[in-house]
Copies of this chain bind each other. A is one copy, B any other.
Amino acid sequence: MSGEVREGDYVVLVDERGKKIIVKTKKDELVHTHNGVIDSNEVIGKNFGGEVKTRLGIKFYILQPTLPDLLKKFRRPTQIIYPKDAGLMIIISGIKSGSKVIECGTGSGSLTAFLAHIVKPEGKVLTFEKREKFAQAALKNLKMANLTEYVELRIQDFVEAEVEKNLFDAGFIDIASPWLVIKKMHEVLKPGKFLFSFSPSLNQVQKTVLTMKEEGFLQIETVECLTRNILVDEKKIRPAGRMIAHTGYITYGRKILK
C-alpha cells in the first residue's frame, strides 16, 4: 500500500513547512512548485514517505494522497460532501467492509468515494445519477481514487430503477428533493437499517423529516456538524479567523416495517 510510486500515481509533494501540492506523476514531466521545479522521473520509483529535491535544492516529501487530499483535485459540477459530514454519517450508519450501500444523487462522487473506501473490498456502492454530465465527472473522480471497481453507477432515475428490495445496509440521499425518493429507499433497505439525507436548507429538512415519518422510519434525527481549526505555535493558541459555517444538515432514521 505504501510501496513504490509508479507512473500515473497521484502523489502529495509537501515541503518542510507543510505546504503541499497534489500531482499525477508522468514520465519526463516537470512539476512546478512554489519552491522550484521537481523532475517527475525522480519521483517515480521512490517509496511513498521518501523525499525528492527541487532544482533549487529544496526538500519535498512524497506522500500517498488520502481521500480528503484527492477531493481537492475532484471535478466539482456539484457541491461535494465534506469529510466531516461523510465521517459522521459513516459512523452512525454502522457500515463496514462488506456492506451493501445505495446512494441517490452521485453528484461529484465525493460521498460515493468515502462509502466505497469503507465497504471495499467485498462490499459495493450502488449509486444513481440521472444527469449524464455529473455521472461522467463522478466516474473520473472515482477512477482517480482507484475506487471504480467497488461502485456501480447507474445513469438513471432512481425511482424508476429496478433495484432488489430489502437488500441494502444503508441508504444515502443527496438530491434537491429528497422526499421524492424516500419511499423507494424504504423498499430497498433491510429492516432496521439507516437512511441518510443531506440538505443545505431547512425547508428541505422539514419536508424530509415529515416524509420519512410517513414512509416508515423511526428515531429520526437532524444534526449539523461544524469543524473549527485551531492555530497553534510556540507563542499562541487561537481559533482560525474564518470557518465554513454551513455545508448541510444530516437527517437520518431507521427503516421499520409498518
Q: Is A244 a contact partner of B244 (Cβ separation < 8 A)?
A: no
Q: Is A206 a contact partner of B94 (Cβ separation < 8 A)?
A: no
Q: What is the count of identical protomers in the complex? A: 4
Q: How far is the CB of A145 from chain B (nearest CB, A)?
A: 11
Q: Is B92 a contact partner of A88 (Cβ separation < 8 A)?
A: no
CB contacts under 8 Å to B, within A42-56, are: 47-51
Asked whether any CB of chain B lies closer than 8 Å to the CB of A34, the reply is no
Once A16-B218, A224-B230 are accepted as A-B contacts, the answer to whether A241 and B238 lie under 8 Å apart by CB is: no
Asked whether any CB of chain B lies closer than 8 Å to the CB of A225, the reply is yes
CB contacts under 8 Å to B, within A15-34, are: 16, 18, 20
The residue in chain B whose Cβ has the minimal distance to the Cβ of A97 is: B97
Bound Cα distance A221, B2 (Å): 22
Kindly supply a per-residue 1/0 record for chain A positions 190-224, scoring 1 wherever the CB is within 8 Å of any chain B CB and 0 otherwise. Answer: 11111000001111111001100000001111111
Q: Is A190 a contact partner of B2 (Cβ separation < 8 A)?
A: yes
- Hey, which chain B residues are within 8 Å of A62, CB to CB? 192
Bound Cα distance A226, B222 (Å): 14
**Interface SS majority for chain A:** mixed
- Hey, which chain B residues are within 8 Å of A234, CB to CB? 210
Q: Is B64 a contact partner of A192 (Cβ separation < 8 A)?
A: yes
- Hey, which chain B residues are within 8 Å of A210, CB to CB? 234
The residue in chain B whose Cβ has the minimal distance to the Cβ of A202 is: B237
Once A92-B83, A241-B245 are accepted as A-B contacts, the answer to whether A229 and B236 lie under 8 Å apart by CB is: no
Q: Is A235 a contact partner of B203 (Cβ separation < 8 A)?
A: yes
**Chain A to chain B: the 10 pairs with minimum beta-carbon distance, closest first:** A49-B191, A97-B97, A87-B87, A243-B245, A87-B91, A239-B246, A66-B94, A201-B236, A49-B192, A222-B230
